[in-house]
Amino acid sequence: MTTEYILYIALGGATGTILRAFISTLLPFQLSSFSWGTFFVNMVGCFLIGWFWVKLENPALKAFLVTGLLGGLTTFSGLGLELFRYFNEKSYFLLATYALVSVFVGIFLVWFGQKLAS
């Protein structure tokens, strides 16, 4: 892996992380409701990874956008933490709803992104 390639990933990751932090201030996690912030970034990320995977041929741009930007923006670890917090609070309906909707809508959006890009 070249230094240039690492730089593209790092710049994309920093950009995605900043966007993620900004969105989490607009849509903060609350135990009493569906976690829209993490859901939003993960679903946007699913759609865009499907789109970029088909459309991008340039390895440097793919590194910046897919590995860097989307890697920094989306957050499976955040999803896991929020699901665990719902579990600890015995909010089983929110836990199940959030988990199922995140997985199935995420898969659909990866497919949809690829279809639109094709």
Give 71-82 pLDDT, tens digit per residue.
Answer: 999 988 778 889
pLDDT exceeding 70 applies to what percent of the chain? 100
pTM for the full model? 0.82
Cβ-based neighbours of 97, under 8 Å, separated by 6 or more: 34
Using 50, 70 and 90 to split pLDDT, how confident is the model at 21? very high
How far from chain centre, in Å, is Cα 1?
Answer: 24
Structure confidence at residue 17 (pLDDT): 96
Task: Compute the distance between CA of residue 47 and CA of residue 97 in angstroms, rounded to an integer.
Answer: 20
| pLDDT reading at 84 higher than 80 | yes
- Calculate Rg over the CA atoms of the chain: 15
Which of 89, 69, 73, 61 lies closest to 5, judged by CA? 61
Q: What is the count of structural domains for the chain?
A: 1
Look at residue 60 in the predicted model and tell me its pLDDT.
Answer: 95
Return the minimum-mean-pLDDT range out of 3-12, 17-26, 75-84: 75-84
Structural domain span for residue 100: 3-117
Interatomic CA distance for residues 46 and 51, integer angstroms: 9
Question: Tokens for 85?
Answer: 């917090």
